[in-house]
Copies of this chain bind each other. A is one copy, B any other.
Amino acid sequence: MTLGLVAPVRDGMSTGGRPPSQFALNPTGRVVIAADLGASHSTIAITDLAGSILRESREQLDIALGPEHVLSHMRDSAARLLELAGRDLADVIAVGIGLPGPVEFTTGRPSNPPIMPGWNGFDVPEWVHHHLHVPVHVENDVNIMAIGERALFFPEVDDVIFVKVATGIGAGIISGGRLQRGAQGTAGDIGHVRVERGAGTACPCGNMGCLEAIASGPAIAASLRGLGLDATSGSDVLDLVRQGNTLAIQAVRQAGRDIGEVLTTCISFINPSVIVIGGSMARAGEHLLAGVREVVYTRSTPLATEHLSIVQSQAGSNAAVIGAATLSIQHALSPEGIDSMIAA
Q: Which residues in A have some Cβ–Cβ distance to B below 8 Å?
A: 12-20, 22-23, 102, 112, 157-159, 171, 173, 175-176, 178, 180-190, 192-194, 196, 205, 207, 262, 264-266, 268-273, 299-301, 303-304, 306-307, 335-336, 338-339
Cα distance A157–B182 in the bound complex, in angstroms? 11
Q: Are A186 and B303 in contact (CB under 8 A)?
A: yes
With A186-B304, A187-B270, A265-B269 already in contact, 11 other A-B pairs whose C-beta atoms are closer than 8 Å: A16-B19, A176-B180, A180-B180, A180-B270, A182-B272, A186-B271, A189-B301, A189-B303, A192-B301, A193-B265, A265-B265
Q: Are B183 and A269 in contact (CB under 8 A)?
A: no
Most buried by B among A185, A186, A265, A306: A265
Write the chain B residue with the least CB distance to A12.
Answer: B14
- With A14-B13, A182-B175 already in contact, the answer to whether A304 and B271 are too (CB < 8 A) is no
- With A18-B19, A19-B17, A171-B269 already in contact, the answer to whether A183 and B307 are too (CB < 8 A) is yes
The residues of B that contact A185 with a CB separation of less than 8 Å are: 271
Cα distance A175–B185 in the bound complex, in angstroms? 11
- With A171-B269, A303-B184 already in contact, the answer to whether A339 and B189 are too (CB < 8 A) is no
Cα distance A303–B266 in the bound complex, in angstroms? 19
The residues of B that contact A301 with a CB separation of less than 8 Å are: 189, 192, 205, 207
The residues of B that contact A102 with a CB separation of less than 8 Å are: 303
- With A16-B338, A335-B17, A336-B17 already in contact, the answer to whether A187 and B265 are too (CB < 8 A) is no
Cα distance A179–B336 in the bound complex, in angstroms? 24
A67 to chain B, nearest CB (A): 21
Among B173, B175, B183, B307, the residue within 8 A (CB) of A159 is B183
The residues of B that contact A205 with a CB separation of less than 8 Å are: 301
The residues of B that contact A158 with a CB separation of less than 8 Å are: 183
11 contacts between A and B (CB under 8 A): A14-B14, A17-B335, A157-B183, A176-B181, A185-B271, A188-B269, A189-B271, A190-B269, A207-B301, A269-B269, A270-B270
Q: Are B190 and A265 in contact (CB under 8 A)?
A: yes
The residues of B that contact A17 with a CB separation of less than 8 Å are: 19, 335-336, 339
Write the chain B residue with the least CB distance to A300.
Answer: B192
Q: Are B22 and A173 in contact (CB under 8 A)?
A: no
Instruction: Give the 5 A-B CB pairs with smallest separation, nearest first.
Output: A182-B271, A14-B14, A183-B273, A187-B271, A159-B183
Q: Are B339 and A187 in contact (CB under 8 A)?
A: no
Cα distance A266–B269 in the bound complex, in angstroms? 7
Cα distance A269–B15 in the bound complex, in angstroms? 39
Cα distance A271–B175 in the bound complex, in angstroms? 14
A266 to chain B, nearest CB (A): 5
Write the chain B residue with the least CB distance to A182.
Answer: B271
Cα distance A335–B14 in the bound complex, in angstroms? 10
Among B15, B157, B178, B196, the residue within 8 A (CB) of A176 is B178
Cα distance A299–B268 in the bound complex, in angstroms? 20
Cα distance A251–B193 in the bound complex, in angstroms? 25
The residues of B that contact A268 with a CB separation of less than 8 Å are: 186, 189-190, 192-193
Q: Are B190 and A180 in contact (CB under 8 A)?
A: no
